[in-house]
Amino acid sequence: MTARTSQTPLELFATDSLIGEEERAIRDTVRRFVEDRIKPEVADWYESGSIPARDLAKELGALGVLGMHLEGYGCAGTSATAYGLACLELEAGDSGLRSLVSVQGSLAMFAIWKHGSDEQKQEWLPRMAAGEAIGCFGLTEPDFGSNPAGMRTRAVRDGSDWRLTGNKLWITNGSVADVAVVWAQTEDGIRGFVVPTDTPGFSAPEIKKKMSLRASVTSELVLDDVRLPADAVLPGVTGLSGPLSCLNEARYGIVFGALGAARDSLETAIAYSKDRDIFDKPLAAYQLTQAKLADMALELGKGMLLALHLGRLKDAGTLRPEQVSLGKLNNVREAIAIARECRTILGAAGITLEHPVLRHANNLESVLTYEGTSEVHQLVIGRALTGEAAFR
């Protein structure tokens, strides 16, 4: 029997036929950056629990991916689908890298872009798009994650100024940020504040001893009677709809991003199975191995088709929050299952940082939780199906 030429998992689904030429060019540019700059270094960053965030921010800014889906202020103004494909390629490098870009562009920059004043936009967005300033997003608190409406951080009027007091936790980019978008309770409801991180009373101790997202900066934000001028508040929104609109942007990037970790794991497992001989033939030639690979390729391809469909809906301006929940719930859940299964194909070699699969699996444990846990997204979908809110 003549041997067939092997295909990549996504070639089986012909997903490139669903992507435009410009989107493909953006994807390929980001893929080359990840191959050349990130993959040779990321295992060492992961092992040491550190990442050259400031250097990478400038490189990512030069690449054009920071806030790339936003219009104006030095942002590239790409399609949502192109942004999603960039997230996929970034997370094929490491979830921490995609998190840096997501928090910068879809949380901190998006909050200022959508809800900020003209002065706030002009001051921060061009520098953030270039990677010259790093942003973070302060919503989650030690006791309030899935229920952010209960946050304890407060902002009170003091003459024409504001005074902020409280703590935020699990904040990506916090310790290296130049500006924080912080959400706080006020007498008028939840409001967002643009907080330069050199403001007296602001500190951001880094969280160490992590088992996941080790190549990412994770911090606590401490707001100890931080005084801000009146114009620090985001004027465009009051209430929880402000931070939730930003979270939907970040969740959308995860729909694509998680598939990058899954694809990299699967491609690694396929290559390893071809090279690894066991009982005098390649591991890839065994039925059990092929069954695993086939099942994983199927879930990866289905997730990609879902992501691209959601991307087109977003480009058309019709994407709904519960549809983002569908994508986040499915694609992260399947991605972590793929990474774990790939580890079994690599055997003992799969537990080392010589291969990316367990690193991806560990990272996806965090992705499974942040920007809405799987349980929260199940309830969002359940509410859409039944009309009943079961959050309480």
What residues are labeled active site? 371
What residue has token string 């009373």? Answer: 201
* Strand-pair partners of 184: 191
Between strands 218-228 and 135-138, the pairing is: unpaired
Fill in the DSSP letter of residue 206: B
Closest C-alpha among 277, 264, 291 to residue 360: 264
What residue has token string 């007091």? Answer: 165
Handedness of CA 41, 43, 46, 48 (dihedral sign): negative
Contact 60, 173 (CB under 8 A): no
- Count CB atoms within 10 A of the CB of residue 249: 24
- Residue-wise burial string across 51-80, b where 16 or more C-beta atoms lie within 10 A, e elsewhere: bebeebbbebbebbbbbbbbeebbbbebbb
128 membership: H or E segment, kind and range = helix 118-129
What does the alpha-carbon distance between residue 90 and residue 99 come to, in Å, rounded to a whole number?
A: 9
> In degrees rounded to 5, what are phi and psi of residue 343?
-60, -35
What does the alpha-carbon distance between residue 94 and residue 96 come to, in Å, rounded to a whole number?
A: 5
- Count CB atoms within 10 A of the CB of residue 134: 28
